[in-house]
Structure 1
Amino acid sequence: MYRFLLTPRWWGINVFVLLAIPFCIFMGSWQLSRFESRVDDHRTAQEQVSSEHTEAARPLTEMLPVDKATSGRRVTASGQYGKQLLVPDRELDGKRGFYVLTLLRTDTGKALPVVRGWLPGAADAAKAPAPPAGEVTVTGALQASETPGDNGVSAQGGLPAGQTAAISAASLVNLVSDDLYDAWVTLDTADSGMTAVPASAPTGTGLDLKAFQNLGYTGEWFVFAGFVVFMWFRLLRREVEFARDAELGIAPDEEPETGSSREQAHEDASTPVR
């Protein structure tokens, strides 16, 4: 009854099934691992941000370049404050305001952008307190350069002099003459009555749409594997039923052609078309 499994048609079907099922399971498992990796990155990033005030600060140069492992970690740097800029349209605790960004010229010859705090309202240089004079040592959370248009960072241009939309070396290179670090620091304690800006998790570590897309793709690939198995059993069952009917001499249901109908068909065929 199962001799049909040895036919070329069924050899092709079986080979396809044997290849399709492991492939679907592999792709589903890979998508699931991507989702789990994003969850682990999110958990690690949140732990780093929440523990930023408890761990010992390390020298800035030891934590560069900024990556997922170092973003949010506490660092310390020394130097003298220089040029000051404002970063408008930044939200904190549900209120709109601006960051006060000051460049710290370090002993290495490079300048480190330091967010000294946040103030409510429209960006106004008159509201921003002047930075401390002389040699200072700052301690805060290390952050990666921002990308305009991502994570709420404004991409608008044409800002007034002394303002920047994003905190990054690429955005500041045309505004200052200093050689800049490709990173910035937000102080643990804000200066002069400003509100400290909390550190943010590094890009790509949140449970965003991409993470849940990975989870959705996981389900799709496992459904595909189940569908392949279902269709194989369905085809097998139908083929077995046909083979059993053939052994019992049961022909497919067809309307028998009677003698009168054959005669009528012959007359119809012989009648000339007018």
Structure 2
Amino acid sequence: MYRFLLTPRWLGLAALTMALVGLMALAGQWQHDRYQARTATNAKISAARTAPATPIEATVPGPPARPRPGDGPVGAAGDGPTGAGAVGPAPDADRLWSPVSVTGRYRADADILVRGRRSEGRLGFEVLTPLTLADGTAILVDRGWVQVTAGDARSRPAVPRAPAGPVTVVGRLAPGERGAQPIDIFEGRIEVRQVTLAPLAERLGLPLYGVYLLADQDQPGAASLVAVPSPEQSTWQNLGYVIQWWIFAAMTVFGFGWLARREARGPVARAVQPVDRAA
């Protein structure tokens, strides 16, 4: 009854069905892996809210290079005391978003504005300032968010100056962002669109950690700045895609079976309607 399945036409259709089902299953599995990864990240961020802060030196590896005494000028790549700044290795994924404490001195003359950032739907800048540790290494500290000046796209908001002297900052480890981008100088300050650590280390002439720090609320020098939260990720969309792809795969198998069953039953005779000749 189903010998027709061995014909070239049906073997080709079966191969196409299997290929489509395989691709849909792989797409569903990929979305499932993303769902699990994002769920794990959200759980880590949630747990970090109540975890004690640990010293950064005991949490993530620092950059390999050490500068000579003194700080290099901002705004000219390669003319700092160590030339192009080095960037330390990225930490293990399970270390990200962990709370840490770090003690050092802010480079108050080296603020970095990250434009195009939103907080509760409002557009503004995130303010990053290098914090130099006692061993000469540094970490970028995201001191918080400030809203753009309304009505004038060319102006920049007033940013509170980072405090002088030694400070201890508590915050959460954030990974550097990816992407090539220009580094602009506007009104004497560095402006970027993404926190890409390697170009910023080169521009600053400082050896930077392979992460940056999202400072918690009420940190030194954070007056009038809004603390940037750890970015919890939406997972429902990934879960929806998992269900969607696997349903499509099941529907493809069902469709092949339905076509095969229809072929096996043969053509259905049409019912002949009697003609009313009296009309």
TM-score w.r.t. the length of structure 1 is 0.67
Compare the two structures and name the one with the higher helix fraction.
1
Give distance in 2, aligned partners of 1:180 and 1:26.
Answer: 45
Q: Who is 2:101 aligned against?
A: 76
Q: Who is 2:211 aligned against?
A: 183
Alignment of 1:5-44 (within 5 A): 5=3, 10=6, 26-44=22-40
Give distance in 1, aligned partners of 2:236 and 2:197.
Answer: 26
Indicate how the Cα distance of structure 1 residues 86 and 23 shifts in structure 2: closer, same or farther if over 3 A, else same.
Answer: closer
SS at match of 2:252: helix
Indicate how the Cα distance of structure 1 residues 90 and 11 shifts in structure 2: closer, same or farther if over 3 A, else same.
Answer: closer
Cα shift at 1:145: 0.9
Indicate how the Cα distance of structure 1 residues 159 and 210 shifts in structure 2: closer, same or farther if over 3 A, else same.
Answer: farther
Cα shift at 1:34: 2.4
Quick check: 1:140–1:187 contact (8 Å CA) kept in 2? yes
TM-score w.r.t. the length of structure 2 is 0.66
Letter in 2 for 1:46: N
Identify which of 244, 247, 266 aligns with 1:238.
266
Q: Say if 2:118 is the partner of 1:91.
A: yes
Structure 2 runs not aligned, ≥5 long: 62-89, 150-154, 269-279
Question: Over the residues paired in the alignment, what is the CA RMSD in angstroms?
Answer: 3.5
Letter in 1 for 2:227: A
SS at match of 2:94: coil
Indicate how the Cα distance of structure 1 residues 132 and 97 shifts in structure 2: closer, same or farther if over 3 A, else same.
Answer: same
Q: Say if 2:169 is the partner of 1:144.
A: no
Q: Who is 2:54 aligned against?
A: 58
Task: Return the structure number with greater relative CO, CA threshold 8 A, min gap 6.
Answer: 2
Give distance in 1, aligned partners of 2:123 and 2:10.
Answer: 63
Give distance in 2, aligned partners of 1:116 and 1:178.
Answer: 18
Cα shift at 1:111: 1.4
Letter in 1 for 2:113: L
SS at match of 1:136: strand
